[in-house]
A and B are shown apart, each in its own frame.
Chain A
Amino acid sequence: MTRRPEPLHGERDLVEQAARGDRRAFEAIYRTYARTIFAYVLVPMLGDRDDAEDCLRDTFLAAFGALPSYQWKEPSIYPWLKVLAKNKARDLLRASGRRQRLRGAFQEHVEAIVGEAQTPSDEEIQREHLRAQIEGVLATMNPRYAAVLRLRLLEGKSREVCAEVMDVKIGTLDVLLFRACRAFRQACDKQGIALQRELVR
């Protein structure tokens, strides 16, 4: 279940305390933003949970070191942390010599559909907008493809349940899901949603 990010009260004071080396204040900042950065920035960019955790740690270590030179900007430190996280993710991708597209990352698709958020609340709002956009694309697709995408990916039903609802065998369900994902991309193109294919190095 997704928790809607809550604003951090007295954030500016906490940031100033953390900049002076107060680890408890810095921990409060971490507890507030780590989940959002992990789920909305690093996993979409890296497509891998372990890499995202490594990057999250590096992001906050770098943030603690850079805080003394940080200039506060309303309403939150989140955009600054997000930029740090994205830079760390790019560094990881470059260092590993792997291409973002070969890891199943999807950040660029999110931004192509709904743009980039600047606050944790915006991230959640934009995800709801993304869901609405996806429903719009599904409405234009072959009903069986739309149904398998909705059941398996959006509703998270098990393969067995999906196969039963779709009245197919498990093996056939896998083929249906694969074809449906391919058809979704084509449907996006028809809707004028340009899902980028450039490789990010």
Chain B
Amino acid sequence: MSGHERERPTTPSGPADPAWEAELRAGLEAEGGEGSVEPELEIARLLVHAARVETFDDAAAAKLWTDIERGIAPVPFWRRRWFTVSAPAALAAAAAVILVLAIGKSPKPGAEGGVASSADLLEQQFELLAPAARSEVTRTVEAERAELRGDLVALAITQGTSRTHGGAP
């Protein structure tokens, strides 16, 4: 008996045990044959099945149920396909809407709001300073006019002793 044969279990447990094929192949080779042992294997398994069906014990059943239960468990909405596909698109659309609304509500340059407030401030400052500035201008103009008039009168008096210029003072 070879080492391989010694390792083989002496009593295969059920029809699906692969040891049946090894045992039949050993028989085929011992009589000098080679090739497939499938027809004989089918018969061997059929007879074993008639005597004792393949076992599926409680541990194997529980282990398989764990796999099945994982497969049939409800999937949270954030892990569902429709959500993973549509959520980014919905977020992008929402961001676009918010952006459009924000732009629509913002003041136009030079009209109202931030820019308009600066103009108002300038206007208010102008209104505060304008009367004094106008008075100063008037005063300066009047003063210079009076001075010029005085100069002209003096000049006319000086030259009026010799000739007149069309009746001008």
* A and B are partners in one complex rather than unrelated chains: yes
Interface residues of B in 53-77 (CB under 8 A from A): 53-56, 60-61, 64-65, 67-69, 71-74
- Do B48 and A43 touch across chains, with their CB atoms under 8 A apart? no
Closest to B64 in A: A57
Judge whether B39 is part of the interface by a CB distance below 8 angstroms: yes
Judge whether B161 is part of the interface by a CB distance below 8 angstroms: no
- Do A49 and B16 touch across chains, with their CB atoms under 8 A apart? yes
Cross-chain contact of B68 among A35, A57, A130 (Cβ < 8 A)? A57
- Do B24 and A127 touch across chains, with their CB atoms under 8 A apart? no
The number of chain B residues touching the other chain, given as a range, is 35 or more
Instruction: Report the separation of the CA atoms of residues A53 and B65 in the bound assembly, to the nearest whole angstrom.
Output: 11
**Chain B proximity mask over A20-58: 1 for CB below 8 Å, otherwise 0:** 010100110011001100111001100111001100110
Residues of B within 8 A of A149 (CB): 47
- Do B60 and A158 touch across chains, with their CB atoms under 8 A apart? no
Cross-chain contact of A178 among B16, B27, B48, B55 (Cβ < 8 A)? B27
- Do B53 and A134 touch across chains, with their CB atoms under 8 A apart? no
Judge whether B136 is part of the interface by a CB distance below 8 angstroms: no
Interface residues of B in 20-58 (CB under 8 A from A): 20-21, 23-24, 26-28, 30-31, 36-56
Judge whether A96 is part of the interface by a CB distance below 8 angstroms: no
Residues of A within 8 A of B5 (CB): 170
- Do A106 and B56 touch across chains, with their CB atoms under 8 A apart? no
**Chain B proximity mask over A140-173: 1 for CB below 8 Å, otherwise 0:** 0000000001000111111110000000001110
Closest to B28 in A: A178
Instruction: Report the separation of the CA atoms of residues A64 and B74 in the bound assembly, to the nearest whole angstrom.
Output: 12
- Do A57 and B67 touch across chains, with their CB atoms under 8 A apart? yes
- Do A23 and B23 touch across chains, with their CB atoms under 8 A apart? no
Residues of B within 8 A of A154 (CB): 47-48, 50-51
Cross-chain contact of A179 among B26, B27, B60 (Cβ < 8 A)? B27
Which of B14, B21, B53, B65 counts the most chain A CB atoms within 10 A? Answer: B53
Judge whether A181 is part of the interface by a CB distance below 8 angstroms: yes
Q: Given A109-B42, A110-B46, are A27 and B56 also a contact pair (CB < 8 Å)?
A: no
Judge whether B125 is part of the interface by a CB distance below 8 angstroms: no
* 16 further A-B pairs in the complex, CB-CB below 8 A; given A27-B65, A104-B38, A127-B53: A40-B53, A43-B14, A43-B15, A43-B16, A44-B49, A57-B64, A61-B71, A101-B42, A104-B42, A105-B45, A106-B15, A110-B46, A153-B44, A155-B51, A171-B26, A181-B41
- Would you list the 5 A-B pairs with minimal beta carbon distance, nearest first? A178-B27, A174-B27, A181-B40, A39-B53, A158-B10
Q: Identify 17 residue pairs between A and B in the complex whose beta-carbon atoms are under 8 Å apart, listed by A's number.
A: A23-B73, A38-B54, A40-B53, A43-B15, A44-B15, A49-B17, A53-B64, A104-B38, A106-B15, A156-B12, A159-B10, A174-B30, A181-B24, A181-B40, A181-B43, A184-B47, A185-B43
